[in-house]
Amino acid sequence: MEDRETTEKRTIRTKIESLAYGPYGVAREQGQVVLIPRCVPGDEVEARILTVKRNYAIGEIVALLTPSPARQQPPCPYFDACGGCPWQAARYGVQLAAKQKSVEDALGRIGKLSGFELLPILPSTQEYHYRRRVRLHADGRGRLGYYRPFSHELIEIESCLIADAHANAHLRRAREWLKELKTPIQQIELIVGDAAGQIVFAGKAEGRLARGDEAVSSRFLDAHPEIQGLVLSGRRWRRVWGEGKVCIHVADGLVLEIDAELFSQVNRAGNLELARQVVEWGEFASHDRVLELYCGAGNFTLPIARRVHEVVAVEGNPQSIENGRANGQRHGVENIRWVCSPAANAVKTLRQGGEKFSTAILNPPRAGAKGLEEDLAALGVEKILYVSCEPPTLARDLGALERHGYKLVRVRPFDLFPHSYHVEAVAEMVHR
């Protein structure tokens, strides 16, 4: 059966059974799964079927007939219009249970994995105002906001319920800067550092820096000394006014200074717990050689390096490598070999060089780490710690590693993203 838009747009009355890994509630109609956004388990709804796919259908709510006891009134004034936080109508405990189940289901259904310990999900210490990084879309009218669900229609916002209070306090200033710029801007990110009062605005530009925006940004920063720095970047160019780095606290009391626009976990308390778990499960010893793939700017690298003989840290982004190396030097951590390379190329080179490692740390983007399993086994890796933000690719990769001699021991989900369906997880595998 081909995917198709339905012409009849028929309506159904149904009850939501669960939350899917995505912005949907799950119902069943005549044995077929129906995905309906903005629903909560236990809701009884009237829904309109919009699209019929091979294994499921997609609908939309026409009327909420009987609200679920698990439903709450979304406190965000933009909930009905904004595409963010699609689970905000569900009580937080319901969200946590759904995220735990999404990890469990992916590991069993996609990875065909069994016989491991699935530990309870670790909740976020903050249900709201947890994001220290807020990325807002911009348009040609000088507006900043988020997109409507399933569209690129911008909804302008004055504040965000999940954003750090310091970011919210400066959102108006970010909009003022945007309106003064002549350079076409796609988005502006507000990044709050862990040092007191620290905030940087980072804009992503289309094309070149417009004539006059150098002076505009300098004047703007002079007029607003409470803003630490401004960054604009486009294809093959980057310009900074003021200080473009922020401080990020990591494990062991270490502080990284990183370029503000580089990736860092949005949830500061959750990131510390994530790093603590990696260090604890690693059981690192002074003789260990550790391979870290997708190391970023050193979030896990520096704490691990303090415990082991050597870390080979691999990252494809040269700017991240430069930041990581500088932080290692600043803290006097000299047993890290920084390698700027795609992970797949790096592991093949290390294998050809006959290198061996006791432990591998993988922290890939959502696409995962497909195709590395054979090389990791050939590198003599006895333990793998895999940090993932995407249960389906985590399950796929862990299943492939099992077929190359590794056994999944335990998995711990972490909720770093309340009110969204995203979930972080740490998995431990050992060689049989």
Catalytic residues: 389
Is 165 in a helix, a strand, or coil? Answer: helix
Q: What are phi and psi of 168, to 5 degrees?
A: -60, -40
Which sign does the torsion angle of CA 363, 369, 373, 378 carry?
negative
CA distance 142 to 195: 30
Both structure tokens of 89: 């109508």
307 Cβ neighbours under 8 A, 6+ residues apart: 279, 282, 284, 285, 286, 288
Q: Report in angstroms the alpha-carbon separations of 203 from 211, 232, 284, 363, 364.
A: 16, 5, 40, 26, 25
Phi, psi of 110 (to 5 degrees): -90, -45
Determine how many CB atoms are found less than 10 A away from the CB of residue 150: 11
Return the structure tokens found at 143.
């507006």
Q: Give Cα 186 to chain centroid, integer Å.
A: 20
Closest to 182 (Cα-Cα) out of 212, 146, 223, 224: 212
